[in-house]
Chains A and B, each alone.
Chain A
Amino acid sequence: MAGLATTFGSGAMTNSINEIPDAEMLFLIGTNTTEAHPVIGYKMRRAKRKGAKLVVVDPRRTELAEIADYWLRLKPGTDIPLLNGIMHVIIREGLHDQDFIKERTENFEALEETVKNYTPESVSVLTGVPVNDIYAVARLYATTDKAMLFYTLGITEHVCGTDNVMSVANLAMLTGHLGRPGTGVNPIRGQNNVQGACDMGALPNVFSGYQKVIDPAAREKFEKAWRVSLPESPGLMIADMIEKAHAGELKAMYILGENPVLTDPNSNHVRLGLENLEFLVVQELFLTETAEYADVILPAASFAETDGTFTSTERRVQRVRKAIEPLPGMANWQVIIELSKRMGYPMDYTSPEEVWTEMASLTPSLAGVSYHRLEAKGVQWPCPNSEHPGTPVLHTGSFTRGKGYFQGIDHIPPGELPDQEYPLLLSTGRILYHYNVTTPYSAGIQSMWPEEASELNPDDAARLGVETGDKVKVASRRGECVTNILVTDRVPPGMLWMSFHYKNSPANALTSAALDPVTKTGEYKVCAVKVEKIQEVGTCGGYM
């Protein structure tokens, strides 16, 4: 989200989901929407049927790639040159929105200077995308009035994730596709409340509503409200926490509802870090891989056992309602209050609504949102006061930061690429039937989709003597795991694609240690591996 925050001043999806069916063009880059966000995927299919043009940029032939007008099968990690090439064509052909650029943005010259070097011909060599497609997509996007851009982790989970995002934002600004319904730069957030967790200040540099901890005025406001003095310097991001744990500087952690051992890249490194802690508390629904390392495990309550709110990818705050009593006897909010009390800092909330009310009183962008207003359809922030209707489209008159900021961005190759020793490129993602953590505990889902089926192109499969259903050992420089193979030309030659859902085939034992330098996001989408067929020796152990 740092990329959009730099360009626009706000790192959230600019437009709304229900604008999709009426869009005239959908430009998808690094998002397998029908599997990762199925209901949004339905709406994209509907738009396509109504006549919207569909462009899908993805090395994998996703479901939407199959029905796309243009499927640009780029080489992994070459998003920036592709986008620069598209912008090169738009500028050269005078298709950019000069009024928008003049009135709403700054630093256009820097972009112009950079993309000048990215001719479609040179970009085609770098990306593997045909020259004609680069021209066609550039013209189509620039000349379509209601064109929406979407991306997800296929853009962000790279060493150059932040730069990728800013390149996407450059493209939208260049053509004036912002601030109106049916346009925008739309990152679809992966998890149910990742937007909300950010909004609430579960980040080391900001309080709720992105109020910076280094801002003395913000700090003073929270100090007054919380009647305590607050630390001035930003804290650690996840990756830094693991490093500090390794170094012995971080001694204790409280982990609520996260499973970094399974979901963070380079998991062996994470394990060692957690092992090194003096005291680890994990609050979880299940005995997860991470919980195994805890000194104390607290049982967590699920979404069905608590009142509260989630904030969706389109910034819509919606109610979560308690349907049953918490199985562990206490809801998570009650546990934090109890712990706080024992540490000499009583928090006297009697309901989640009271927590919300306090938060809203301290957070300008959510100040107008109350539980009462959420009853029917929720509210999309920013919503600064109780009369404000909420904001379906961001940046209508001006950007959050004032003017949109163009940046000239050059190609940065992935941190690790295939070589002789590790000849295949591993990319990872989500499948329709699973979610990060809870779905393996759903009896029905687990019975239908119990095992990893890593995708391998028929060319590579033939060379390795592997067929669908065979078990292989996959190894990278950081770890190895065993998986079943599905031979399919959904993936290009030279690529192995795995999901990260399965305990018995933990893809993140393999993934890269390379990080985006700004967000510290792991490069889940590209690393080098080798694959070796293994002979079936008895059973390979059950699941779970």
Chain B
Amino acid sequence: MIMDFVKFTINGKEVEVQAGISIIDAAEQAGIDIPRLCYDKDLSPVGACRLCVVEVKGARSLVPSCVSPVTPGMVVETHSPAVIKARRKVLDLLISNHPLDCLTCEKAGDCKLADYCYEYGVKESSFEGERHNYAIEESNPFIVRDLNKCIQCGQCIRACDEWTGIHNLNFAYRGFDNKPSTFDDLPYVESECVFCGNCVSVCPTGALTERQMKHKGRRWEMKKVKTTCPFCGTGCNFDLNVKDGKVVGVTANRASAVNGRSLCVKGHFGWDFVHDERRLTTPLIKKDGEFLPASWDEALDLIATRFKGIKDQYGADAFAALSSARCTNEENYLVQKFTRAVMGTNSVDHCART
């Protein structure tokens, strides 16, 4: 495929980019970050938030860079005084109806609205008027939905539609009351929602958050450990969020080879079996039909003695091992090595067929 390239000038620097790409993506290639709230490279652009406006020489007004392609010879200013003034106004308007309860907001530290207000020095709104007072939706165990914090960027709608393919959300109502909604404005739990949580992963504010992470710590306290999902064979990656030696949540990781930021209900919210109180934490030895706690030494010594005894008495083929399609490669390798090299039999299998 032959690629066409175009030259244009951005902040006084001439750069060459692939023809047809948007100004916002071209800027990124040139190392210039243009703020965005509704735009995400992995979703279709809609040009709704107007935060990404830039000045294009010869244009009648500022243009939204996410939906405007670069043209040959175009001259762009991304941070001119007019642009900055416009962005401040956009943020001012957005927070005129956004609770500034950052002290207790779950997304504090990971909120793009707050980041941009900080960057552009917007401390409070200069507009006064009506404010929404939606009830916070907590009727399902996975997702907290606080539409008071929604900025109508529509990313949740597009993620549900374009990633998951469910299209459970769309904008409803007009004007001031416009908001992302399920069909008939039902709570998620009564809708077609499959609880993949992809809407949560793209929400730039605290409107959609993981319920499991509520009150479990501030976002900047979480250690993120990228790993591979233990449910099904797709091989999705995500970040385990860890605080004080405990897993407190799963968040999507953009750098995931197979899934990008898409997850399903199991990967996103099913991890909490890890800390279920029914987890076995100590070896148990059955005595007179009852399991009694034992030390590792006690249990392993007993197993070694019995395995040795059975091998000596009946031969190696009196032993068999079942390894696990849920355990790691390394654990599986060791189980088959143990079975073959230590017990002396090839009777090792796992439920490859279920």
- Verify B296–A330 contact, CB threshold 8 A: yes
Taking CB atoms, residues of chain A closer than 8 Å to B227 are: 303-304, 319-321, 323
A308 nearest CB neighbor, chain B only:
B328
Q: Return the CB mask of B41-82 against A: 1 if under 8 Å, else 0.
A: 000000000000000000000000000000000000000000
A122 within 8 A of B: no
**Cα(A237)–Cα(B346), bound, Å:** 10
Q: By the criterion CB–CB under 8 Å, are B246 and A438 in contact?
A: no
- Residue A355 contacts which of B265, B322, B333 (CB distance < 8 angstroms)? B333
User: Is residue B90 contacting chain A, with contact meaning CB distance below 8 A?
Assistant: no
Shortest B284–chain A CB gap in Å is 4
Contacts of A358 in B (CB 8 A): 333
A235 close to B (CB within 8 Å):
yes
- Least Cβ–Cβ distance between A212 and chain B, in angstroms: 10
Q: Is the CB of B354 within 8 A of A333?
A: no
A439 and B301: CB pair below 8 A?
A: no
Contact A339–B338 (Cβ < 8 Å): yes
| Alpha-carbon gap, A41 to B321, bound state (A) | 34
Taking a contact as CB atoms under 8 Å apart, the answer to whether A202 and B320 are in contact is no
Establish whether residues A312 and B269, one from each chain, have CB atoms under 8 Å apart when the complex forms.
no
Q: Does A476 contact B (CB under 8 A)?
A: no
Instruction: State whether A156 touches B353 (Cβ < 8 A).
Output: yes
Please determine whether B266 and A445 come into contact, CB atoms closer than 8 angstroms.
Answer: yes
Point out the residues of chain B lying under 8 angstroms from A378, CB to CB: 235, 257
Cβ of A427 under 8 Å from chain B? no
Known: A190-B232, A231-B344, A439-B266. A251 touches B281 (CB 8 A): no
Q: How far is the CB of A6 from chain B (nearest CB, A)?
A: 16
* B42 nearest CB across to chain A (Å): 12
**Structural contact, B259 and A311, CB atoms closer than 8 A:** no
Q: Please list 9 pairs of residues, one from A and one from B, whose beta carbons are closer than 8 Å in the complex, sorted by A's number.
A: A39-B262, A192-B232, A192-B235, A231-B345, A256-B321, A302-B274, A327-B279, A435-B231, A439-B270
- Bitwise interface map of B from 314 to 341 toward A, beta carbon under 8 Å scored 1, else 0: 1011111111111111111111111111
- Most central of B141, B259, B262, B352 by chain A CB within 10 Å: B352
> Using a CB–CB distance below 8 Å, which chain B residues touch chain A?
140-142, 162-165, 189, 194-196, 211-212, 223, 225-237, 240, 242, 245-247, 255, 257-259, 262-267, 269-274, 276, 278-286, 291, 294, 296, 299-304, 306-308, 310, 314, 316-342, 344-354
B331 and A333 within 8 A (CB): yes
Chain A positions within 8 Å of B232 at CB level: 36-38, 190-192, 435
Chain A residue nearest to B326 (CB atoms) is A257
Given contacts A203-B336, A236-B349, 19 further A-B contacts (CB under 8 A): A41-B165, A157-B354, A193-B325, A203-B350, A203-B352, A235-B347, A255-B321, A257-B326, A278-B310, A296-B285, A302-B230, A309-B328, A321-B240, A328-B280, A336-B331, A338-B296, A338-B300, A342-B300, A443-B276
Check A376 for interface membership: any CB of B closer than 8 A: yes
Is there an interface contact between A308 and B330, defined as CB atoms closer than 8 Å? yes
Q: Once the chains bind, are B341 and A230 in contact (CB under 8 Å)? A: yes
| Cα A235 to Cα B345 with chains together (Å) | 7
Instruction: From known contacts A196-B329, A285-B280, A328-B282, infer whether A201 and B334 are also in contact, taking CB-CB under 8 Å.
Output: no
CA of A55 to CA of B44, assembled, Å: 27
In the bound assembly, the distance between CA atoms of A199 and B336 in angstroms comes to 11
Do B347 and A263 touch (CB < 8 A)? no
Residue contact A193 to B237, C-beta cutoff 8 Å: no
Contacts of B306 in A (CB 8 A): 252, 278-279, 295
- B contact residues around A343 at 8 Å (CB): 304, 307-308, 342
B contact face: mostly helix, strand, loop, or mixed: mixed
User: With A332-B327, A445-B265 as given contacts, are A193 and B163 in contact (CB-CB < 8 Å)?
Assistant: no
Bitwise, A225-252 to B at CB < 8 A (1) or not (0) is 0101011011111100100100001111
Q: Which A residues lie within 8 Å of B259 (CB)?
A: 39
Known: A195-B233, A432-B194, A519-B353. A285 touches B348 (CB 8 A): no
- When chains A and B are docked, how far (Å) is the Cα of A502 from the Cα of B141? 20
Min CB gap B328→A, angstroms? 3
A293 to B, closest residue via Cβ: B286
In the assembled complex, the CB of B238 is this many whole angstroms from the nearest CB of chain A, namely 11
Which residues of chain B are near A320, meaning CB under 8 Å?
227-228, 328
Shortest Cβ gap from B214 to chain A (Å):
12
Q: How far is the CA of A265 from the CA of B190 in the complex (A)?
A: 35
* Cβ distance B185 to chain A, nearest Cβ, rounded Å: 21
What CA separation (Å) do A521 and B286 show in the bound complex? 32
**Residue in contact with B354 in the complex, picked from A153, A311, A323, CB distance below 8 Å:** A153
A287 at the interface (CB under 8 A from B): yes
Interchain CB contact under 8 A, A324 and B242: yes
B284: which of A297, A305, A376, A519 is its contact (CB, 8 Å)? A297
Q: Given the complex, which residues of A lie within 8 Å of B279, measured CB to CB?
A: 285-286, 299, 302, 327, 441
The listed residue (A253, A304, A305, A355) touching B321 by CB distance below 8 A is A253
- Please tell me if the beta carbons of B335 and A256 are within 8 angstroms of each other in the complex: yes
Interface size class of A (residues with CB under 8 A): 35 or more
For B347, give the chain A residue with the smallest CB separation.
A235
Residues in B whose Cβ lies below 8 Å from that of A263: 351, 354
Contact B274 A202 (CB under 8 A): no
Shortest beta-carbon distance from B237 to chain A in Å: 7
Is A42's beta carbon under 8 Å from chain B?
A: yes
A329 at interface, CB cutoff 8 A: yes
Q: Which residues of B contact A297 (CB under 8 A)?
A: 280, 283-284, 286, 291
Q: Please, what's the 1-or-0 string for A447-458, where 1 marks a CB less than 8 Å from any CB in chain B?
A: 110000000000
Q: Give the Cβ gap from B78 to chain A, nearest Cβ, in Å.
A: 30
Residues of A within 8 A of B294 (CB): 296
| Contact indicator per residue, chain A 170-197, by CB within 8 Å of chain B (1) or not (0) | 0000000000000000001111111111
- CA of A519 to CA of B336, assembled, Å: 19
- Report A-chain residues with C-beta under 8 Å of the C-beta of B345: 231, 235
A222 to B346, CA, bound (A): 13
Asked whether A202 and B350 contact (CB < 8 A) given A38-B264, A197-B325, A285-B280, the answer is yes
* Interface: A345 (CB within 8 A): yes
B323 CB contacts on chain A under 8 angstroms: 197, 200, 202, 256-258
Q: Are B334 and A355 in contact (CB under 8 A)?
A: yes
Question: Is the beta-carbon distance between A254 and B321 smaller than 8 angstroms?
Answer: yes
- Write out the residue numbers on chain A whose beta carbons fall within 8 Å of the beta carbon of B332: 193, 196-197, 200-202
The 3 residue pairs across chains A and B that have the minimum distance between CB atoms? A312-B235, A308-B328, A45-B165
The CA-CA distance from A319 to B140 in the complex, in Å, is 32
Question: Does residue A144 face the partner (Cβ distance < 8 Å to B)?
Answer: no
Of B264, B272, B308, B318, the contact of A39 (CB 8 Å cutoff): B264
Minimum CB distance partner of B255 in chain A: A376
CB of A489 to closest CB in B, whole Å: 18
With a cutoff of 8 Å between Cβ atoms, the chain A residues found around residue B330 in the complex are 308-309, 333, 352, 355-356, 359
Shortest A511–chain B CB gap in Å is: 11
CA distance A188 to B234 in the complex (A): 8
